Amino acid sequence: MTSLPDLVCPAGSLPALKAAVDNGADAVYLGFKNDTNARNFAGLNFDQKTMADGIRYAHAKGREILLAINTFPQAGRVADWHKAVDAAVDQGVDAIILADIGLLDYARNRHPQQRLHLSVQGSATSYEAINFCQREFDIRRAVLPRVLTLAQVENVIRNTTVEIEVFGFGSLCVMNEGRCWLSSYACGESPNTVGACSPAKYVKWDKKPGAMETRLNGVLIDRFGDDEPAGYPTLCKGRFEVQGETYYALEEPTSLNVLEILPEIIKIGVRAIKVEGRQRSPAYVTQVTRTLRAALDSLRDGSERFHVKPAWQAELAKVSEGSQATLGAYNRPWR
């Protein structure tokens, strides 16, 4: 019998957290209501009380709460990030997901017992980097950036005792992992500085006859015909004119979806599968969690005959940005 990887689901609110737990997430990841996490949007995330309620709810059902403090401390305000780490420990989260090496050091020294995970924003793509973080900060798990092929993921797993978590579903943000400044180019703010890519206050949706235009701080990002699915105007997913041709010059607005290669992911020893989308609604969390739960459960007994049910794909396709799915880097022929 193969043991299944944990299903790690996002929550930006208490109802989303409950939806994740009720639909079969093994762990739920959250953030505080401030810029110590990379989904710092108005009205989203947890304060002390909602987090305490959420932790109680999850623990009562035997699930874990992981807290993301995955932005980089800004000059002069390092204390805010330290406070977030202390608060997370006080709240009793099961693990803290950190990206910054200085913060890892702080958390490890100040709270020697706290379980720490290395965030995808930490940008560790090699086992050397991961083993370094294990040696120095005793991290238990690392989340791999979405840039590795399946064979590369397997190579990392073979060469480390740190648990490996990979992305399984959600909007693609390659972020160069952890170093994308595209958003700053248009509006002076990026995920690693203010905790949000393309913050809503710079976004304008303009309905014109026959088309909708989206702008980021005045920069035209895309134009959608009336029947075309729309996407959020992040610079990487815009259509730009390059040498006389207008197309998705950086990235297609697709979602990552690993259903098809789930058996391989389990076989190579991935310890946890993560779903993107703390900014999405409880309805999204419900749909994605229950679909991935069903798919994972169908593999519970190391079943050789894994079939991706069309209903699963339909459910996931519906909630995808751009309504297109891809295996991302996992099956890319080049490295």
Partner 1 sequence: MNGSFTIPKFRLPAFVASLGQKLPQWPHALALVAGLNAALKMKLLPESELALLEDKLFRVRVLDTGGEASYTYANGLFRPVFRPQREPDLAFAANLSAYLQLLSRQEDPDTLFFSRELEITGDTELGLIVKNMLDAVEWPKFSARLPVFRH
Q: Is 329 left (phi over 0), alpha (psi -120 to 50) or beta?
A: alpha
Contact positions with partner 1 (CB under 8 A) in 229-268: 229-231
Residue 43 near which of partner 1, ligand SF4, none (CB within 5-8 Å, type-dependent): partner 1
Residue 144 dihedral angles phi and psi, to the nearest 5°: -85, 140
Asked if 268 contacts 2 with a C-beta cutoff of 8 angstroms, the reply is: no
Nearest CB to ligand SF4, comparing residues 78 and 174 = 174
CA-to-CA dists, residue 312 to 147, 294, 318, 327, angstroms: 25, 8, 10, 15
Asked if 299 contacts 263 with a C-beta cutoff of 8 angstroms, the reply is: yes
Rounded CA separation 197/233 (Å): 10
The least CB distance from residue 115 to partner 1, in Å, is 27
Q: Site for partner 1 (CB under 8 A): how many residues?
A: 36
The least CB distance from residue 173 to ligand SF4, in Å, is 3
Q: Site for ligand SF4 (CB under 6 A): how many residues?
A: 11
Does 221 participate in binding ligand SF4 (rule CB under 6 A)? Answer: no
Residue 182 near which of ligand SF4, partner 1, none (CB within 5-8 Å, type-dependent): ligand SF4
Stretch that binds ligand SF4, among 69-77, 99-107, 175-183, 260-268 (CB under 6 A): 175-183
Residue 282 near which of partner 1, ligand SF4, none (CB within 5-8 Å, type-dependent): partner 1
| Cα four-point dihedral sign 40, 44, 41, 122 | positive
Does 304 participate in binding partner 1 (rule CB under 8 A)? Answer: no
The least CB distance from residue 243 to partner 1, in Å, is 29
Nearest CB to ligand SF4, comparing residues 150 and 180 = 180
Does 219 participate in binding ligand SF4 (rule CB under 6 A)? Answer: no
Residue 67 dihedral angles phi and psi, to the nearest 5°: -110, 125
Site string for partner 1, 9-38 (x = CB under 8 A): ---xxxxx----------------------
Q: For partner 1, which residue of 56, 102, 159, 205 counts as binding (CB under 8 A)?
A: 205
Helix (H) or strand (E) holding 46: none
* Angle at the Cα of 160 from the Cα atoms of 73 and 10, rounded to 5 degrees: 50
Residue 274 dihedral angles phi and psi, to the nearest 5°: -110, 140
Q: For ligand SF4, which residue of 21, 104, 180, 194 counts as binding (CB under 6 A)?
A: 180
Token pair for 197: 């890519």
The least CB distance from residue 184 to partner 1, in Å, is 18
Surface-to-core class of residue 81, CB atoms within 10 Å of its CB (0-12 exposed, 13-18 middle, 19+ buried): buried
Q: Helices (H), strands (E): how many in the chain?
A: 11, 15
Q: Catalog residues that contact ligand SF4 under the rule CB under 6 A.
A: 173-175, 180, 182-183, 191, 197, 234-236
